[in-house]
A = this chain, B = another copy of it.
Amino acid sequence: MITTIGFDADDTLWHNESIFAAAHEKYRALLGRWHDAATIDRRLFATEMRNLELYGYGIKAHALSCIETAIELTDGDIRAAEIREIIASAQAMLAHPVELLDGVAEVVPRLARTYPLLLITKGDLRDQERKLAKSGLAQHFAHTEIVAEKNVETYARVLHRLQIRPEQFLMVGNSLKSDILPALDLGAAAALVPYHLLWQGEEVAPLPVPTGRFAQLPTLRELPALVDRLNASG
């Protein structure tokens, strides 16, 4: 019996990776005098992975890694004005409007009438709070958890604190690695709603996932029917 539903935020409720993709396009153009796109992408990702433990996720971390990579890739030839463009791009990303994904504006309020909804997202504290406020969805979530990393321990801690048993919990998100596998590991149900873009840092090898407690949905519109089905069989 599902009594509580958790949602990831970025690329589950609203567009995010598309904003990063557009910024990466500009970044590649900025460094195009020095390197091809594949080299730039590879080196930026390597910098991001190297800094992940120290920086965590989010746009500020990304901007600092972009600057560091640009200096490395140009052997220090990049001009300050070009670095200023990277900062301006990060600021534009932070100020970007929140655009809800298909079905979200209908499905979230509808489910909130029956179930307490949790928002469980990683990233930058202020940026995630701001996006939730701008989304117009804040009042539908009983609790918001902005966490440094989304693994089994994180979900266990959040559910324990709210006194929710994993069997009663359904997690919904676009990332197998961060939303689905840890929730299933814990004994919760999980619904994957893929976004058309996935950051390389979220990629995992396709894994067999238990059926029954797991479903993949094309959009969030199919979620209420899945919840009904889980509760009819449970």
State the A residues within 8 Å of B (CB).
51, 54-56, 60-61, 63-64, 67-68, 70-71, 74, 76-81, 83-84, 87, 90-91, 94-95, 124-127, 129, 146-148
A80 to B75, CA, bound (A): 9
A212 to B149, CA, bound (A): 42
A70 to B80, CA, bound (A): 9
Q: Which of A55, A74, A84, A91 has the most CB of B within 10 A?
A: A55
A-B contact pairs, 10 of them (CB 8 A): A51-B91, A55-B94, A60-B64, A64-B90, A68-B84, A68-B87, A70-B80, A71-B84, A76-B81, A79-B80
A80 to B77, CA, bound (A): 7
A158 to B90, CA, bound (A): 31
Which single member of B78, B83, B95 contacts A67 (CB below 8 Å)? B83
Given contacts A79-B76, A80-B76, is CB(A54)–CB(B91) below 8 Å? Answer: yes
Residues of B within 8 A of A125 (CB): 56, 124-125, 146-148
A54 to B125, CA, bound (A): 11
Which single member of B56, B83, B129 contacts A80 (CB below 8 Å)? B83
Residues of B within 8 A of A90 (CB): 64
Residues of B within 8 A of A77 (CB): 80
Q: Which residue of B lies closest to A71 (CB)?
A: B80
Q: How many copies does the complex hold?
A: 2
A64 to B67, CA, bound (A): 10
A127 to B53, CA, bound (A): 9
A55 and B60: CB pair below 8 A?
yes
A77 to B83, CA, bound (A): 12
A68 to B60, CA, bound (A): 13
B71 and A81: CB pair below 8 A?
yes
Tell me how far the C-beta of A135 lies from the nearest C-beta in chain B, rounded to whole angstroms.
Answer: 16
Residues of B within 8 A of A60 (CB): 55, 60-61, 64
Q: Which residue of B lies closest to A88 (CB)?
A: B68
A54 to B92, CA, bound (A): 10
Q: Which residue of B lies closest to A55 (CB)?
A: B60
Tell me how far the C-beta of A178 lies from the nearest C-beta in chain B, rounded to whole angstroms.
Answer: 15
Given A60-B61, A67-B67, A71-B80; 11 other pairs, CB 8 A cutoff: A51-B91, A56-B124, A56-B126, A60-B60, A63-B64, A64-B87, A68-B87, A71-B81, A76-B80, A77-B80, A80-B83
